[in-house]
Every structure is written in structure tokens, then in C-alpha cells.
Structure 1
Amino acid sequence: MRTNGAGAGAGTDGAGAEVVVVGGGAAGLGAAVTLARARRSVLVIDSGSPRNAPAAHVHGYLGHDGVPPAELLSRGRAEAIGYGARIVPGTAVAADRLPGGGFLVRLGDGSTVRAARLLVATGLRDELPEVPGLAARWGRDVLHCPYCHGWEWRERPLAVLATGPLAAHQAHLWRQWTPRVTLLAHTWRVPDADRAALAARGVEVVEGEVRGLRLTGEDRLAGVTLRGGAAVACEALVVAPRFTARSGVLSSLGITAVRLERDGQDLGTTVEAGPGGATALAGVWVAGNVTSPTDTVIAAAAQGVRAGMEINADLTGAEVRAAVAGAAAGAAAGAVAGAAPGASAG
């Protein structure tokens, strides 16, 4: 139960910690701070590629609303290091179970790290619809989460790009922030029931596959172009990414991601875990978007905190069992010594 007292820096080969956290985003840092404050030795492996890097601000994070994502992570790293956690740059590519217990984590540069317990908070990849120019605007005026961006786009014209049944749900949600919502049928055949519900809320459905984006001279979204050349005006475009769990390290341990589906639409993959983040493999936890794809930043951080508490409790349980076994062995040895021939009777 001792911190290692190290700060940020490279050089992981041969290093070890009670807990290795793979992923230095909100979930990973939430766990690192919790564990370090519990006086555990913690090592965080951070690839430096947070999912929300394209966004200008984080919203819905109590006490930190509007802070840039990089600044929030910088504060989190400083807090973790202040309590004794060590943060190293690198990418974990695989992990092995060690015969005597614990894990060996392998990094992309060939170095390794040993851990008694492992927390994977690697997040997910957003796989975007294949529309020319769309990916470059992700997080700016190509969006998916109304709770992250809805307030900033209130009362403004936006369009929802339909790639499956989830599009109708998205349109109804965004209608809460603006009455100027258009659903672009794109590659989805909109059922009559959905059309009726959308029409009842004033959402127009426009047929035709989207072939590209239209921009203003100030590099802002002005609308989309359909197959055949027709244009539809909008200032923001809502999409449904496919959420793919970054589960490579987990896969190497035999923990496989499962398909995520809603209303018949393939939403991607996720890693299943218990309420505290424990996976089916003892000693391995997950937290954040790798296991809960739709969670916002504050929810991911909370998951990391909870996982940190669960891991600390698990380590404490192991220490209690070891202490009891040690005490019992000592008592047995003392009894044997006391019963030996010629031993003093007191």
C-alpha cells in the first residue's frame, strides 16, 4: 500500500505497480487519482490520443463546464501525479497473465510493465459514415451527442444523417434543442410510422443519398449536397458513429468485445463488465467508453473512480487473506516449537 512517488516520464521496462491503468483519459485518470489517494502504487500508460480531442470544450462536467478537453486532462494528470501516480507515454498492445499471479503488459516500443491488477480504460473509436469531408469536421459541426453540443446549437438549423433506425431517435432528441431539424434519409428507408411521428413534430424527411458537404467562405458548414445535385441547408450535421471498443489489450487476455445493437442497428462493439467494472477474468477491470460507449466525460470519470474503489477493495481482501494465513502459519510454527522435546514449560 505504498505509492511509488514517481512523476510523469518514459522508461517503463521492468517497472511494476500494484495497479497498471491502460488509458489516460477521464476514466483512467479518475481511477488513478482514487487509487493513488488510497496509497496504492499506480502506473498509467497514456497513448495521448483522447477520443474527444477534436472537440473545443467539454460540457456537462459539473464544475468544469466549457473547459477544453486537453486542459481537463492536464489537470487530471497533475492531480494523479501529485498523489504519487506515475504516468508514462506509450501504447499498450497486449498483456499476459503471469504464472505466479498478476500481469505483464507489453508496450508498442517493446518495453513491459508488471501489474498485480489491471484496469483498461482505452475508450473507443468513432467510425463515421463515409461521406466526403465529413470526418474532418467531426466534433466541430458534425456531431452526435445532444447533451454534449445541443445547447450550443439551440434554435439553429441542423440535419440528421440517417444510416439506420437510430436516426429517428436522434431527430426527436435534437428537436428538444431546435425546431429546425431535417432528417436526411440517405441510406435508410424511413418506415411510415417514423415518418408520421417525425412529421407530427415538424421534422422534414428529405430523400436522397448525401454525396458531400457544402461550406461557407469562413469554413463553416452550410449544408449538404445530394446525389443528383440538390442541396439541403444546415449549420450542423448529426451522425450516428459506429462505436468500436479499443479492446486489443483485453483480447490478448481472452476478453472479447461483443456486438452492440439498438433497434436493429449495429452500433459497434463493447466490453461487458459488472457494475464496478470487473470483467470475467479475475484481476482485470474496465472503465469508460470501452465498456459504456454512450457515457459522457463525467460519467466515464465516475466509472473510473468506482473501478478504482473496487480494485482497492480487491487488493485489501488479498492482503487480509495473506495476513490471516501468515498469522495461522506463525501460530502453527509456535505450537510445534512449544511441543518439541526439552522445550520450556514456562
Structure 2
Amino acid sequence: MIYDVIVVGGSYAGVSAAMQLARARRSVLVIDAGQRRNRFAATSHGFLGQDGNSPDAIADQARRQLLAYPSVTWRGASAVAAEKQADVISIATSDGLTFNARRLILASGVTDELPDIPGLAERWGRQVFHCPYCHGYEVGKGNIGVLASSPLAIHQALMLPDWGPTTLFLNGAFQPDAEQSEKLAQRGVSLEQEQVVSIGGERLEVTLASGRVITLAGLFVQPRTHLNNPLIKQLGLAVESGPLGNFLTVDQMRETSVAGVFACGDAAVAAGNVAIAVGDGARTGGAAHQSLIFR
């Protein structure tokens, strides 16, 4: 069998893309390894109709709704190899099978690399975050920290005072220039020069090199992101350098540098947000469908 489209990645962007194709009565195979980027978060926010629900509940509901369409097949596995010959794309999976399709959508996301500070990773998605729009409201106007890992921390630090009193922990990552310092002062952001040595406590306690402890309601960081899908190199897809990591190059129709291969979600958009991923998936699914008709 040759599917119309294979979607690699069954998180929010991938399911959204597959939904558009299913509703166009196209045959779709979704290959999913079950590693959503936001699996560490207790709740998800900012997505209409699902605000405050758990990521698991949102994903499970989306999958059930998708699989109600008879033209959709779901495969719980990893996509480990890809080959394109003429107009057919072959995908091999971790369970030893090979599937063919006329189009491929990569919605496999990215992997986050957090600063190497004891106690930080254990609180990722629960007390430590990257998206103010996703989690800023829940800190309840409490004290907020921004842990700098690059000069991009300035962007978070200037935004977050809208959600609560903000301290920028420079942590040796960079030193604000005069203009940046003025803008931070105008926003009421406090600067902390001491090195952060650990994160702990039920109330999120930041311990500094001197032993001083600052208690926060939430801490925001700028993780590096990595494209770990092996299919990207195997297919020779072009990538672009973003401020925090590489992402796939796509055109206005969400097609990559290889004809017939599309991409959506965090792998193709330099932003991590459920609502954005769902919208990008819908756009990509529609584009892939139209490519089956108009070329």
C-alpha cells in the first residue's frame, strides 16, 4: 500500500496536520514514538477550549478524534530511516517495518537542552519554564526569576514584569550594555550578578555562590533546542540557525528543501507553544493535501 501522506510525530502539530488530510478523505499513516516536548508539564495554557488541561488529556482527546476517521492508521514506533525515489517516500520504523507514501510531513519536534544546574531539570515544566504566555499567569504575581544562558535572556526579562516582580540572574552568561540596563531598570527588573549553584526546595529556592537563597514563584530559562530526527540528514533537508537552535527550512506552503516533504510544529517554527503548533499543523496538512492535487 502507498499512503497519500505519512506524518512522523503524533503530538499537537502532527495530529492537527493529519486531521486536515483525514477530512479530505486521504489515507494517512501517523508514526509516533510518544515523546511530546511538553510531557513534563502538569498543565497546558493558552490553547482555546483546553486551557488548564493536562498535556496528556489534550493529546489523548486529539488522537481519539483523529482515529475516528477511517482513513487514518496510527503506528506506535520511531521512524528510523527514510528514502525518496521519484514520487514515493519510504519510511522504516523501529519495529522493523517499512511504509510508503506520496508525501511526508515531519512533525517530530525538538529536544530541549537545559542549563546544567543541579535541581533545574527535575523542575522543568512545573516550576521552571520557557514560555511566559504558557505559564506566566500561574505564578500569581509572585517573584519571578530569569536564568540567563545567553543574551536572549534580555527578551524574557523585559516581558516577565507583566506577570510579577522579576529578577534576572546573569549567571555569567553575559553582561547587559548601557542601553539594555536602562530598559531593564525602566521595567523594574532586578539584576543578580552572583553565580547560581543549585535549585531546590518546594517553593523554588535559588541558591547563589555566596550561600544566599532567593525564593521564587517561577523560573524562566532559554533552553537550547536540537533537531534529533535522523530522517532530516538522510533526506538532506536544509536547516536554518535560530537564536536557540536549528530548525527546518520551509517555504510559504510549509514544504522543505526536498519536494514532497513538509514540516510543521517546533521542528519548523522557532517557537514552542501548543496553539502555534496546532495552527501550523493545520496549515501544513492543508498544503500537503493541495500538493497532491495541483502538481
TM range (shorter): over 0.9
CA contact (8 A) 2:203 2:215 kept: no
> Hey, what's the Cα distance between the residues in 2 that align with 1:277 and 1:295?
17
Bigger RCO of structures 1 and 2 (CA < 8 A, at least 6 apart): 2
What is aligned with 1:190?
176
What is aligned with 1:327?
none
Aligned mate of 1:292, from 258, 269, 284:
269
User: Which letter does structure 2 place at the counterpart of 1:213?
Assistant: I
Deviations 1:247-275 (A, max 9, x none): 421211001432212xxxxx111111012
How far off its partner does 1:111 sit? 1.7
How many residues are aligned here? 293
For structure 1, which segment, 238-247 or 281-290, has the greater mean C-alpha deviation from structure 2 after superposition? 238-247
What is aligned with 1:56?
42
Deviations 1:31-70 (A, max 9, x none): 1111011010000001001001111122111112112111
For structure 1, which segment, 191-200 or 42-51, has the greater mean C-alpha deviation from structure 2 after superposition? 191-200
Q: Which runs of 4+ in 1 moved over 4 A?
A: none
> Hey, what's the Cα distance between the residues in 2 that align with 1:193 and 1:232?
27
Identity %: 38
How far off its partner does 1:182 sit? 0.7
User: Which letter does structure 1 place at the counterpart of 2:264?
Assistant: A
How far off its partner does 1:236 sit? 1.4
DSSP 3-state at the match of 2:242: strand
Going from structure 1 to structure 2, the CA distance change for 1:309 and 1:300 (only over 3 Å counts) comes to same
Q: Check if 1:232 corresponds to 2:214.
A: yes
> Hey, what's the Cα distance between the residues in 1 that align with 2:75 and 2:260?
21
Aligned mate of 2:134, from 138, 148, 173:
148
1:319-338 matches, within 5 Å, as none
Q: Normalising to structure 1: TM-score of the pair?
A: 0.81
What is aligned with 1:112?
98
CA contact (8 A) 2:238 2:256 kept: no
CA contact (8 A) 2:13 2:265 kept: yes
User: Which letter does structure 1 place at the counterpart of 2:232?
Assistant: L
What is aligned with 2:82?
95
CA contact (8 A) 1:245 1:257 kept: no
1:245-260 matches, within 5 Å, as 245-260=227-242
How far off its partner does 1:101 sit? 2.2
CA contact (8 A) 1:245 1:291 kept: no
Is there any run of 5+ residues in structure 2 with no aligned partner, and where? none
> Hey, what's the Cα distance between the residues in 2 that align with 1:166 and 1:146?
14
| Greater Rg by CA | 1
How far off its partner does 1:154 sit? 3.2
CA RMSD of aligned residues (A): 1.4
